[in-house]
Amino acid sequence: MVLRKDTSGAAKSFDSAGMARQSGSLQGHLLIAHPQIDDGRFARAVIVMCQHDDQSAMGVVINHRAARMNLGKLYETLDIGAPRFCADQPVHIGGPVESNRGFVLHTQDHMLPESLSVTHDIGLTSSIEILRDITNGIGPAHSIVSLGCAGWHAGQLESELAANVWLSMPATSDLVFRDGTHDIWKDAYSMLGVDPAHFVSDIGRA
């Protein structure tokens, strides 16, 4: 969705054909940032991969919260009224690409016609209607609202994986929507059986 007032109530959604799972695709996986990434946009980031094929890749960072932003303030920014529920739900920075667009990862107990399956139990919706459902108390049980996403052109993500920039593991709704008091980045390393304090020090060393 483009995050601006839309009097028609319509919003642009993803091309479902571009979201199809490809052979060797990391769609439905998590990317976990190397401990020594010094790019603040991706430091200690955990990214849900929503699309990955031989042409491009797209994902949403799930553990970088926007400063002083929640759904109540987002509604004010969009000038779409006031939320009935969930006004305090945080808004995340999903990545540096298309930062004026919203992406909502959510459990599949509430799917809209334009919603897309990322895994068997995680959906992605880019319609502003999902925000209205969440704040009207009829939305999914769990959701992460983000502004922007992360994107890679052909071969870029593969190069970063080869350079040890990211670790990967299958995404689960239990981890993705874990209580905000948890450090998802640390939890992911723990689930992989890796201590980030003892990780290989040089990014790019095979």
pLDDT tens digits along 120-140: 999 999 999 999 999 999 999
pLDDT tens digits along 151-196: 999 999 999 999 999 999 999 999 999 987 789 999 999 999 999 8
> How many Cβ atoms are within 10 Å of 200's Cβ, its own excluded?
12
123 near 139, Cβ under 8 Å? no
| Secondary structure (3-state) at 22 | coil
2 near 12, Cβ under 8 Å? yes
Contacts of 85 (CB under 8 A, 6+ apart): 134, 135, 136, 137
Q: Among 9-18, 34-43, 100-109, 185-194, whose mean pLDDT is lowest?
A: 9-18
Mean pLDDT, residues 31-60 taken together: 95
Q: Which two three-digit tokens encode residue 154? A: 């052909």
Would you state the pLDDT for residue 200?
58
Give all domains of the chain, ordered by start, each with its CATH number: 22-198 (3.40.1740.10)
